[in-house]
Every structure is written in C-alpha cells, then in structure tokens.
Amino acid sequence: AQSVTQPDIHITVSEGASLELRCNYSYGATPYLFWYVQSPGQGLQLLLKYFSGDTLVQGIKGFEAEFKRSQSSFNLRKPSVHWSDAAEYFCAVGANYGQNFVFGPGTRLSVLP
C-alpha cells in the first residue's frame, strides 16, 4: 500500500524568502503525485500534479515541484513567498485508477511580514 510522509509539521518563513516543502512517498509502481493547499476554513485546492514526463512540474500561484524517483520525493518549491501563501499544504499519491488517494499529514506554513 502506498504511504506519504511530510517530515515538517510546521514551517515559518519570511515574506519574500524561498520555500521548500518536503514530501516522500512509498509506492511500488509509478506514482501519481499531487500537492494541495488548504486555506483556513476552506477545502483543498490542487496546486500541481505529476503523472509522467518532465520531472519538474509547474503549478498555480507560482509553485513548482520536482519528482525524484531515486529519492522517492516530490518536494514543493516557491522562489518568493507571499503572505497569502500561509496555509496548510498536503502531498498526496494516487493509485488504483482513482480509487485510492493517500494524503500526507500536512505541513502548516506561516509567513512572517
């Protein structure tokens, strides 16, 4: 069965600083990988996804993520964080033709002015 870990429970960065959120997965086959963002009191919004091909994927709001098969990682990055990026971020892996998504525990991002 697949699993997802996000080693950082809470990260604080200053506005304008760069950001990297870590995600490691365990899955026997080629994974379908996702990053979602959840603003307070809201549902989850898809930031980006990786299915195949180019291992560097671009998403919305200036985010990107890189799939590294050798490290079983799918880290999320942003070169310059904005105060509005403060939220919780979830990494997820999909399998079994959409019948099974597994989410990581989430990383809460705080942004200092």
Q: Which region, judged by CB under 8 A, interacts with another protein, from 17-25, 61-69, 70-78, 100-108? A: 100-108
**Those residues with Cβ within 8 angstroms of residue 59's Cβ, 6 or more apart along the chain or in another chain:** 35, 46, 47, 48, 49, 65
Count other Cβ atoms within 10 Å, centred on residue 78: 21
Q: Which is nearer to another protein, 59 or 78 (CB)?
A: 59
Instruction: Find the binder of another protein among 76, 94, 109, 111 (CB under 8 A).
Output: 94
Q: Which is nearer to another protein, 14 or 99 (CB)?
A: 99
CB 13 within 8 A of CB 81: yes
Distances 95 to 3, 51, 88 between C-alpha atoms, Å: 11, 11, 23
Q: Which is nearer to another protein, 42 or 80 (CB)?
A: 42
98 binds another protein (CB under 8 A): yes
Q: In Å, how far from its chain's centre is CA 26? A: 15
Instruction: Find the binder of another protein among 63, 106, 109, 111 (CB under 8 A).
Output: 106
101 binds another protein (CB under 8 A): yes
Question: Alpha-carbon distance 72 to 61, whole Å?
Answer: 25
| Residues binding another protein (CB under 8 A) | 4, 9, 32, 34, 36, 41-46, 49, 51, 90, 94, 97-101, 103-106
